[in-house]
Structure 1
Amino acid sequence: MQYFTSDTHFFHKDLLGMNDFAPRPFANVEEMNQTIIDNWNARVAPTDTVYHLGDIALYFTRPAVKSDEAVAEVLSQLNGHLELIKGNHDSRALFKYLAAHNPVDHGQEKYTFHDVGALIKYDHRQYYMTHYPMMLGIVKQIVNLHGHIHHYAVPVKENINVGVDTPETRYLKEQVPFGTPFSTSEIEEMVTGKAKEFQDKQ
C-alpha cells in the first residue's frame, strides 16, 4: 500500500496550541510526536510505502547532530518505507545523517531521498509530489500533491494539500486521526471532491 503525508513538524514547539496556521492542541512536543507515531502506525504496515512531502521536523540543539539523532529516533518508530521529499525546513545535514544511518527494513533501506519531487502513476492518473504547491497549467490526469501551506488550500482543483494540517480533509467522508497518512483512496476522494466543488461554482 502507498500513503501520503507532509509537514509533520516533529518537535516544533511553536506550533503547539490553538492558532489559525496549524492548530495543534497538545501539551508538549512529546505528546504531539507520540500521537503522530501512534496514528501513523495504526494505519501503515511495515511493508507499506509512505511519501513524506517535506518538513519532517523542526528542532535545533547544540551540537546540531543531537537534533538529527532525535529526529532519526522518531522516524525509526514509524512503520513503512519512507520516500522523503525535501521541504524548506529539512536540512541537508539531516538528510545526510539519515542516509548514513539508513536501516534495512523488510529487505530494503528505510529511507529514499528526493531533493525536489517524485512522480508515480495510480489508476490512469499521475501524482506529482512536491513540498511546495506547483502550478502545472492545464493538464489532464496529473495531480500535484504537496504540503508547505498547512491550513490553506490552493484554489486550483489539480492541487491537493496532503499535510497533517490540511483543510482539504473536508472532502473526505470519514475523517482520519491527526498525523495519519492518507491512502490513495482518500487522495482520490479529495481530488473528486475538490473538482466537484470547482464545477459547482461555475
Structure 2
Amino acid sequence: MSSTVTRSPRQLIRHHVRTQRQALTSAQQHQAAQQLLQQCQQSHHFTDAQHIALYLSNDGEIDTQPVIDWLWQQHKHVYLPVLHPFSKGHLLFLHYTSTTAMQANRYGIQEPILDIRLVKPARELDLICTPLVAFDHTGQRLGMGGGYYDRTLAPWHHSRQHPYPLGLAHNCQFVEQLPHEAWDVPLPTIITPARTFSWSTP
C-alpha cells in the first residue's frame, strides 16, 4: 500500500510559487530584472544607502545583477551573504566587487570565499535585500525554510534600527495571505517589477 506525504500549507505555497517562477522565460526574466532596476533607482532606500547587502539570484529568483551593477556605478558598497562556517543557520556579509573570488556553498549558490577582512557586521549595513519565495498583502515573507534571514533580521524586528530589510520578488510571488509563525519577520518594503509595496511598522 503506497503512502502519500501530506504537505503543509506553507510547503504547498512554496512549491506552487517556485514552479511559477521557474516557468518564466529568459525574455520575461530579463524584462522583469530591468523593471526591478527602475523601481530600485526610484527608491530612497537605495539612493540614501551606502552599504547594501544583496544576493545572487538562484532557482528562478528575479535577477539582481542589474541592481548590483547600478550600485557599483553609484560607488556604493555591495555585500553578499555567506553561510556562517561555525554558527549553523546564520549568515555573514562580505564585501563584493567584480573581482571577488567566489565558490559554491552547500546549496550550490555562489558566494564569496570567506575572508574575515571583508566581513561587514550586519548592524553596520544600511540595507539588507532579502530573497523570498512568496509574500502577502501584510508583508509576511515565505522563504526557503532555512530561517537564515529571519535570524539575521530579528534584531531589526525588535529594535527597528539598522539595517533596514527590503524584499525583492517577481510579480507572480504575491499571494493574498500566507500562514506565518511567531519567528517570521514581516518586511516593511517589498519591491517587484510592477510596484513597491510598503507597510507601516509598529
Name the TM tier (shorter chain): 0.3 to 0.5
TM-score (norm. length: structure 2): 0.37
